[in-house]
Amino acid sequence: MTKKRIHFIGGGQMAEAMIRACIANKSVAAEQFTVTDIHEARLQYLNETYGVITDSSQGKLLAAADLIVIAVRPQDNLAALGEAVKQSAQPAAAIVSIVAGVTIEKLAGFFGAERPIIRVIPNTLTDTGYGYSGVALNDHAAVDQVDDFLHGFGKVQVLEERLIDIFTGYGVCGPNYIYYFIESLADAGVLAGLPREQAWNVALENLVGSVAMLRQTGLHPRQLLDINNSPGGVGIHGLYELNNSDFAAGLQRSVLAAVKRTTELGAK
């Protein structure tokens, strides 16, 4: 369990998910988290639900923090937050930004070029222990400054910053594509005549089992497709229709659109 004091500026849904998972996994104790937010009701909720500290001034909490998590929207006033950090935080305190699209260069302009800055794109599967968060660091930061904290809500991939927007649109948005696929697959079972509960359970089991098969065998998906599809059989007829639906290209366009939007948000 890390002993670092972690201060969140912004207590929204993603911040809550990170805090909740870290506390549940015993990687960070509740009393090591502090949070400030513009909404008093939100702070009261976080304090009552998780036991995090929310009742001190921003300056005092910044002064005590080892990690300062910037958990606000890209369009919020980062310049003002930067001034507050420069005035109150210790020079060695690292900035951990989860602000989509805002580069390390921009963050350095707000929070100081000599300060450790770690740009994190957190995964949305925090409560499961699955999912990768993408991490990029400036020259003043080191992975071990945040390793225990980040692993409290999933796995970590350290990336060149030029790949972060791609990682966001592909990796972090990835559960969206999976959820939509599962919903559509279950609906197909219902359309074919299965009761909803049966169709749902079969869809989930097939998804989990297929992932397990890929990992256990080390085979490429195409190799498993070849094994499962006999000449002129049921499976290959189903795949033929799926190919005609433009499924693969539609999924790829979805990823590219998400990557593009991430870049647009950072440019504003």
- Over the stretch 48-89, which tens digit does the pLDDT of each residue have? 999 999 987 889 999 999 999 999 988 888 999 999 999 999
pLDDT one-digit tens code per residue, 130-188: 889 999 999 999 998 899 999 999 899 999 999 998 998 999 899 999 999 999 999 99
- This prediction has a pTM of 0.84
State the binding site.
9-14, 71-74
Domain 6-159 is of which CATH architecture? 3-Layer(aba) Sandwich (3.40)
Encode pLDDT of 36-58 as tens digits: 999 999 999 999 999 999 987 88
96-120 pLDDT tens trace: 999 988 899 999 999 999 999 999 9
The pLDDT assigned to 268 comes to: 65
Query: Quick check: do 6-159 and 169-267 share a fold?
Result: no
Instruction: Write the CATH number of the domain with boundaries 169-267.
Output: 1.10.3730.10
For the chain, domain boundaries: 6-159, 169-267
pLDDT at 199 over 90: yes
CA dist 52 and 55 (Å) reads 9
14: left (phi over 0), alpha (psi -120 to 50) or beta: alpha
Q: How far is the C-alpha of 43 from the C-alpha of 16, rounded, in Å?
A: 11
Angstrom CA distances, 119 to 61, 112, 137, 143, 156, stand at: 21, 14, 6, 11, 12
Would you list which residues are annotated within the binding site for NADP(+)?
Answer: 9-14, 71-74
pLDDT at 266: 67
Q: Which residue has the tokens 């927007």?
A: 165
CA-nearest of 182, 92, 168 to 132 is: 168
DSSP string, the chain: -----EEEE--SHHHHHHHHHHHHTTSS-GGGEEEE-S-HHHHHHHHHHH--B--S-HHHHHHH-SEEEE-S-TTS-HHHHHHHHHHHS-TTPEEEE--TT--HHHHHHHH-TTS-EEEEE--S-TTTT-SEEEEEE-TT--GGGTHHHHGGGSEEEE--GGGHHHHIIIIISHHHHHHHHHHHHHHHHHHHT--HHHHHHHHHHHHHHHHHHHHHH---HHHHHHHH--TT-HHHHHHHHHHHTTHHHHHHHHHHHHHHHHHHHHH-
**pLDDT above 90 (res 263):** no
Distance from C-alpha of 211 to C-alpha of 255, rounded to nearest angstrom: 20
Higher pLDDT, 1 or 33: 33
What is residue 100's predicted lDDT score, i.e. its pLDDT?
Answer: 81
